[in-house]
Amino acid sequence: MHTNERHIFGKANNNEIRTEQCHLLHMENELAYASQHMEKIGSNQSKLLDKLYELESRIH
């Protein structure tokens, strides 16, 4: 199993090709989950994503 290589991320039984970066997808999924349970995150989700993207763009 350790010798198998994939050039895409995701579940082992899913061969769908995704073009977005995995850390961005994970961030969006986690924020969407949190917004379901925390009202302030839900009401500010787009602002939070914008700020996270801005901060991420500063990383070299």
- What is the arithmetic mean of pLDDT over 31-43? 91
What letter does residue 20 receive in the DSSP assignment?
A: S
The one-character DSSP state at 44 is T
Q: What percent of the chain has pLDDT over 70?
A: 72
Q: What is the pLDDT of residues 14-24, one digit of tens each?
A: 667 666 677 77
Of residues 53 and 2, more confidently modeled = 53
Going by pLDDT thresholds of 50, 70 and 90, the confidence category of residue 59 is confident
